[in-house]
Amino acid sequence: MSALFSVICYSSKRLKDGTSPLMMRITKDRERKYSGIGISVDPQFWDFKKNQPKRNCPNRAYIMQIIRNKESEIQKRIFALDIQGDYSIEEILATPSPSVHTARVEDFYRELIEDYQRQGKTGNSLVYTDSLRSLRSYCQGNLNFRFKDITPKWCAYYEKWLRDKGCKETTISVLFRTLRSVFNKAIKANMAEQKDYPFHDFLISKFDTSTKKRALSKTDVMKILEADLTDTREYVRLSRDLFTFSYLCGGINFVDMAYLKPENIENGRLSYIRQKTGKRINVTLCSKAAQIIQNYSRHNGEYLFPILHMNKHVTPIQCHNRIHKMLSKVNSNLQYISHRLGIEAHLTTYVARHSFATVLKKSGVNVALISEVLGHSDISTTQIYLDSFENSQIDEAMKNLL
């Protein structure tokens, strides 16, 4: 008897983020077994009659693609076993690991994306998904190739295709850096060989990813902090408050502000774990920053700022989408504020981060404390560097902010 299979939402099991895993249910000879497919969904977005995500399910297209790929894989396996004769469910599930000679680039990409999804690292999964989508478009949907096929010449053609599409230098750099990261991971997993590594000859460092100066002068920063915005909408005032809070609290970025909770305030200090690097940051909380927090205490939510809602934004993808949407609105409001105040700068929350570093540098603060903010494109390096200093040194430096 041939095996029957379907993908179900295993709602009896809940993960830490409130979602339930999607499982492949296989039945043969009155025996039934389940195997995870690497992704999970909130049961409220799953149609249990049709065994598929509802139309309003976040990332529905992506989830459906994963399901179809898994169903196709199982179907091919069962078909091959049917030809051989009798077999067990264990034989269906026991798939041989691909070798370095047979591993497809697309399959390895999907493994990485699914792994990031399981870990709740939504940002990482989306970066790799964007890279895979770009490769699929470049190859016109035919991703049936191996890592050894990615040669320096192949990379040059891919670069030309991206430029012909009008992609910006930073976008091209990100796509190639992601591809390089995947190749490195494939080598580590024995899915690719070091001798086929193309990025010794095709240098990604050639891409010009330098950006215009983002920092404001202390004078312009003070204009924003002291501006009378009582006649503006609540969201405009929230945007200014978030900019101010970031500037006064070590350049904390928007994502980390979104996740701040009351327990992050300890003895007049702000202590939190960076979402991006996993490093703990501990800075003094000045009176103005403390007042901003107090202004939003009326919301009585789980978070310090009205960005996320504990009942509406439960899964990592829901939180990611909400933060992305709010960041866009906040940056739009900051642009309105800059025009209103006559500040000739493209004002965003990230400008607060750069301004924090620049104002301290111009105030004569130890360059070792802040230089990497201006000298490295990877800002997380600076946060790691800051973490090595005594709190008293950072506290003394931050007295120059106002």
pLDDT-derived band at 80 (thresholds 50, 70, 90) equals confident
pLDDT for the residue 274? 78
The token pair that represents 238 in the structure block:
């929230």
Domains of the chain: 4-93 (no CATH), 105-206 (1.10.150), 218-400 (1.10.443.10)
pLDDT for the residue 212? 54
pLDDT for the residue 373? 36
Q: Highest mean pLDDT: which of 74-78, 301-305, 330-334?
A: 330-334
CB atoms within 10 A of CB 368: 11
Q: Where are the beta strands (DSSP E) in 139-197?
A: none
pLDDT for the residue 384? 39
pLDDT for the residue 87? 80
pLDDT digits (tens, 9 = 90+) for 162-210: 999 999 888 999 999 999 999 999 888 888 889 999 999 999 888 866 5
Q: Which long-range CB contacts under 8 A does 12-21 form with residues at least 24 apart?
A: 15/40, 16/120, 17/120, 17/314, 17/315, 17/316, 18/42, 18/314, 18/315, 19/43, 19/314, 19/315, 20/46
Is it the case that residue 228 has pLDDT exceeding 60? Answer: yes
DSSP code, position 304: S
pLDDT for the residue 96? 54
Interatomic CA distance for residues 125 and 131, integer angstroms:
10
Model-level pTM? 0.58
Is it the case that residue 321 has pLDDT exceeding 90? Answer: no
